[in-house]
Amino acid sequence: MAISTDLREKLIRIRRELHRRPELGNEESETARLVCHHLDELGLAYRDGVAGHGVVAEIPGRVDGPRVALRAELDALPIQEETGLDFSSEVPGVMHACGHDGHMTMLLGAAELLRDGDLPPLPVRLVFQPAEELGSGAREMMEAGALEDVEMIFAGHLDRHYRTGTIVVSPGTVNAATDAFYIEIRGQGGHGARPHESTDPVVVGSLMVMAIQTLVSREVDPAFPSVVSVGQFAAGTAPNAIAGEALLTGTIRAQHPEVREQLKKGVTRIATAMAELHGAEVSIELRSGTPPLNNSREMTRLARKAAAEVVGRDNVSRLRIANMGGEDFAYFLEEIPGCYVRFGSQVPGRQGFPAHSSRFDFDEEALPTGAAFLATVARRAGRAVLAQGEA
């Protein structure tokens, strides 16, 4: 599908407009207003205020029937931007550091392509979702009816690991589950010069940190990608005082349900044992996050054909390594079939910085690629559903 120069330039303008004015999860009122403004320009019907600040738009099809849904995220991250871009965030401490400004732009571009061409075979629903970074937006959108009458759903993510013009389409698990643990250690504080009079939670916590590292390296089959990382260790108020309490927090990432449960139990077992060994008390809280994201094989085949139509077969690839990041699109795929792809977006001639970095950026030439893919996969999906009905 060819993208005109005018549309390409329009997409870049929209992306930069969204990038300048980022908002955190559940605070995306201005972002939603900008999305609605562009939907108004396209003459599309929509509902706003869905699950907070979500927007759901409808594109009619040649045949009324089940919908094909396309999704993008609205929210940004609590990061102070350091890219030096001319269109850097104008909101202190908030930045689109994960490409959601690009994803919204792609979906608006797909809307224009679907509106201006022949009507898609079946109606297409555009889902602009809030609070993805909080891991809650997808479920809230489903509770608000965003998937009613939807047969299948598609989305994608910009990825600096792949060159621009590449679309990565893989079957099966492509994102990990994202669980968290919170360990409170209670010892006996005292003078740093007399440690024998205390039970030091810093020492106990340090031993927990080291022992937790053996969960993946010594207890999980190496064939199953998994990660346990301690992200926070907080204790103490003075250099010459032994703290009375300490807090450890961290993340558990796994792509397989059995390993996910194994790691949760392992963290609990190690924390409990270390505390008991050294005479401390411990409280452990495990918080379940997003589930693994699983692309159905049938939807992956459909998405792969759409990607080949847009960028050519030689530019369609699979994930090279396991992706341990989380994505709440997984909740949608627990309800209906779909596929989540990745759009290559390496910035030519510049060092690439990871998502969630204060210097993250992507090649804007990926925007027309993403828009064309979303429009193409919506048309192919509609034809596939109608063909099944005729069979």
Of the candidates 368, 366, 346, 365, which has an alpha carbon nearest to the alpha carbon of residue 355?
346
**What pLDDT is stored for residue 391 in this prediction?**
40
Q: Which two tokens stand for residue 117?
A: 């061409």
Burial of 40 (0-12, 13-18, 19+ CB in 10 A): exposed
What's the CA gap between 107 and 46, in Å, rounded?
14
- Give the strand order in the sheet containing 167-168: 45-50, 54-59, 124-129, 67-73, 150-159, 338-344, 167-168, 316-317
**What pLDDT is stored for residue 115 in this prediction?**
95
Domains of the chain: 5-174+292-390 (3.40.630.10), 177-287 (3.30.70.360)
Helices and strands in the chain, H and E counts: 10, 16
- Give the strand order in the sheet containing 281-287: 226-235, 245-254, 177-186, 281-287
What's the CA gap between 216 and 239, in Å, rounded?
33
Query: Quick check: 155 and 340 in contact, CB under 8 A?
Result: yes
**pLDDT tens track of the chain, all 391 residues?**
678 999 999 999 999 999 999 999 999 999 999 999 999 999 999 999 999 999 999 999 999 999 999 999 999 999 999 999 999 999 999 999 999 999 999 999 999 999 998 899 999 999 999 999 999 999 999 999 999 999 999 999 999 999 999 999 999 999 999 999 999 999 999 999 999 999 999 999 999 999 999 999 999 999 999 999 999 999 999 999 999 999 999 999 999 999 999 999 999 999 999 999 999 999 999 999 999 999 999 999 999 999 999 999 999 999 988 899 999 999 999 999 999 999 999 987 776 788 999 999 999 999 999 999 999 999 999 999 999 865 4
**What pLDDT is stored for residue 113 in this prediction?**
97
Instruction: Write the DSSP assignment of 301-326 as a string of letters.
Output: HHHHHHHHHHH-GGGEE--SS-----
**Which residue reads 């459909």 in tokens?**
302
Q: Which two tokens stand for residue 190?
A: 């005292």
Q: Helix or strand or coil: residue 30?
A: helix
**What pLDDT is stored for residue 1 in this prediction?**
65
Query: Quick check: 124 and 61 in contact, CB under 8 A?
Result: yes
What's the CA gap between 209 and 220, in Å, rounded?
17
